[in-house]
Each structure stands twice: as C-alpha cells, then as structure tokens.
Amino acid sequence: MRIIILGPPGTGKGTQSRMLSEQFNIPHVSSGDILRENVAKKTDIGKKADVFMKTGQLVPDNIVVKMMTEILGKGKYKHFILDGFPRTINQAHELEHLTPIDLVINLISSEKMIMERLSGRRVCSSCKAVFHIKNMPPKKDGVCNNCNGKLIQRDDDKPETIKNRLRIYEILSDPLIFFYSQKGLLRDIDGDQPIPKIFGDVISVLKKEKLV
C-alpha cells in the first residue's frame, strides 16, 4: 500500500497516519517529522529549513524534494503512508518520478476545527508523542504519559502562524487536489469527525480499494 494523506494542517494527517502505520505495520513517512529531526540535529537541511518552519512557510521545493528523493528514491520503501508530502504541484510531479501511488486520502476540515486542534496540541519534546489539552490530555499536566518528557507547543502551532499555514495550504492545495482527482486517485473524508470515526472511514476506503 502506497498512499498519501492530504489535508490542511491540523486535520489529523499525522494521527491517522500513525494509526494506520501501527495497524498495518507500514512505515509512516512524514516530511514534517523528518524536517524537524533535521532542525534538531542542525544538519544542512535543518539549518536551511528552520526559518521557514518557524514562520509557518513552506520549505522551498528544492530542499524538500532532494530530502524526499533520498528517502523514497532508493526503493527502500515498498509500502508507505506519506504525510505532508507532496505539498505543491511541483512536489507531486517530482514524486511521480520516485514511486507509483495507489491512493490519496483527502481529509477535509473546517477552519474552526483546525484552530481548536492545533492551538491545543502539545508534543513531547523527547519521544514526540502527541497530546491535546482537551481531546487527549496527558495524565499529568505538561508531562508525557510515555516517557515523562516535557510537553511543548510547536512554534508553528501558535495562532498567528496557524493562520499563515492555512492560507498557504488553501493556495497551494487546489492544483494538487485537481492533479490527483484527474488521476482518479483522490478520496475525500470528513476530517471534522471524531478521530476514531475518521479512522473507520479511512479503513472503509482502503478496503473498498482492496488495499487492506
């Protein structure tokens, strides 16, 4: 199964990808996670990407495409759930050279829901587990359930930056959605539903397409 999860920031792409990855034992490849790792390790890519990420802008295509080509281009992954890539039509064209894609799940969410999800999101600074102050609170305030690490708010989850990320998504996603719908690969799912219900819909689509 080689699938892409598309959707605006905060629609639950990461959560759904992680759930799918666990259930079907398929690698979850998140461009955002890989970029954050690069920033944390202060690699060349990380140093270049940092300023764009902090301000909610997209990292330039040439940097992201080179990074993803190294990850996907070596034929290491026969199956994957791609989360956060491609984000632009140019990236989608580049991805065509790297691997075939079986299906694109398009999560659709309202701005109200997105603001609520992202502004309440907290991430473990150590193991990267994700919590939400209302929907999935940790047992102890500010502390990770899994490893006792400190929970932090991502720089780009601050309200002003969220708005910026959403505007950018709106502008860039149209051609991307058109591209995959023309190919007959796009399946829309209501991302405003509770997380388990979204997951149920994702599984139904995958079953219908005989991918699981």
Residues that bind ligand AMP (CB under 6 A): 9, 31-32, 35, 52-53, 56-59, 64, 84-85, 87, 91, 156, 165
Question: Of residues 87, 117, 122, 187, which has the active-site annotation?
Answer: 87
Q: CA nearest 38: which of 63, 72, 7, 57?
A: 63
As measured in angstroms, the least distance from the Cβ of 210 to ligand AMP is 28
Q: Is 187 a catalytic residue?
A: no
Question: Of residues 36, 117, 122, 165, which has the active-site annotation?
Answer: 165
Question: Of residues 48, 154, 158, 163, which has the active-site annotation?
Answer: 154
Q: Using CA atoms, how far apart are residues 84 and 13, in angstroms rounded to an integer?
A: 8
Q: CA-CA-CA-CA torsion for 69, 171, 113, 189, nearest 10 degrees?
A: -60
Q: Is 117 a catalytic residue?
A: no
Report cis status (omega within 30 of 0) of the bond before 100.
no
Between 28 and 200, name the residue whose CB sits nearer to ligand AMP: 28
Question: Of residues 36, 117, 121, 122, which has the active-site annotation?
Answer: 121
- Can you give the three-state secondary structure of 148-165, one letter per residue? CCEEECCHHHCHHHHHHH
Q: Is 122 a catalytic residue?
A: no
Alpha helices in 60-194 (DSSP H): 61-72, 89-98, 111-119, 159-182
Q: Is 165 a catalytic residue?
A: yes
Q: Using CA atoms, how far apart are residues 86 and 75, in angstroms rounded to an integer?
A: 18
Q: Is 13 a catalytic residue?
A: yes
Q: Which residue is nearest to ligand AMP (CB)?
A: 32
Q: What is the DSSP letter of 16?
A: H
Between 32 and 191, name the residue whose CB sits nearer to ligand AMP: 32
Between 33 and 102, name the residue whose CB sits nearer to ligand AMP: 33
Between 57 and 99, name the residue whose CB sits nearer to ligand AMP: 57
Q: Could you give the residue numbers annotated as active site?
A: 13, 87, 121, 154, 165
